[in-house]
Amino acid sequence: MYLAFSILFAVAAVASASNKEGLVFLEENAMDDMVTETPSGLQYQVIADGDPAGESPELDTPVVLHYTGSLLSGEVFDSSLSRGAPATFAPSGVIKGWTEALQMMRPGDKWKLWIPSELAYGDSGSGSMIKGGDVLVFELEVLEVKTGEVAPSGIWAAMEKPALFGIIPGFKTWHLFALMLIFKVMPLISGSGGGTKVTASHILVDTEEECAKIKGEIEKGSGDVKTLFSEQASKSSKCPSGKQGGSLGEFGPGSMVAEFDAVCFDESKAIGEVHGPIKTQFGHHLILVEERKAPPTEKKGQ
Average pLDDT, integer, range 168-193:
43
- Per-residue pLDDT of 15-40, as tens digits, reads 457 888 999 999 999 999 999 999 99
pLDDT at 95: 87
Does residue 126 or residue 121 have the better pLDDT? Answer: 121
Q: Are 66 and 86 in contact (CB under 8 A)?
A: yes
Q: Please state which architecture CATH assigns to domain 2-160.
A: Roll (3.10)
> Are the beta carbons of 61 and 151 closer than 8 angstroms?
yes
Q: How far apart are CA 263 and CA 274, in angstroms?
A: 11
The two most distant CA atoms of the chain are separated, in Å, by 81
Q: Whats the size of the chain, residue-wise?
A: 302
Instruction: Enter the CATH code of domain 173-293.
Output: 3.10.50.40
Instruction: Output the CA angle 40-131-90, nearest 5 degrees.
Output: 50
Q: What is the pLDDT of residue 64?
A: 93
Q: Which residues of 245-257 are buried (b: 16+ CB within 10 A; e: fewer)?
A: bbbbbebbbbbbb
Beta bridge partners of 275: 287
The 3-state DSSP class for residue 39 equals coil
2-160 against 173-293: fold identical:
yes
Distances (CA, A) of 158 to 3, 167, 184, 260: 14, 14, 10, 21
What single DSSP character describes residue 18?
P
Grade residue 151 by pLDDT with cuts at 50, 70 and 90: low
Compute the chain's Rg from CA coordinates: 22
Domain boundaries defined on the chain: 2-160, 173-293
Among residues of the chain, what percentage have pLDDT more than 90?
A: 45
Report the candidate in 48, 20, 43, 16 with the shortest Cα–Cα distance to residue 31.
43
Question: For residue 187, is the peptide bond before it cis, meaning its omega torsion is within 30 degrees of 0?
Answer: no
Residue 238 predicted with pLDDT over 50: yes
Question: pLDDT tens digits, residue range 198-232?
Answer: 999 999 988 999 999 999 999 999 889 999 999 99
Query: Is the distance from CB of 225 to CB of 218 less than 8 angstroms?
Result: yes
For residues 97 and 179, give the distance between their C-alpha atoms in angstroms, rounded to a whole number: 27
First to last CA, the chain: 55
pLDDT beyond 70 at 164: no
What average pLDDT does the chain have?
A: 79
* 162, pLDDT greater than 80: no
**Does residue 195 sit in helix, strand or coil?**
coil
Helix (H, G, I), strand (E, B) or coil at 238: coil
What residues contact residue 296 under an 8 Å CB cut-off, 6+ apart? none
- Please report, rounded to a whole number, the percentage of residues in the chain having pLDDT higher than 70: 77
| Cβ proximity of 81 and 66 under 8 Å | yes
Residue 222, CB-side half-sphere exposure with 13 Å CA sphere = 0
Note the pLDDT of residue 75.
92
Q: Judge residue 155's burial from the number of C-beta atoms within 10 Å of its C-beta, 0-12 exposed, 13-18 middle, 19 or more buried.
A: buried
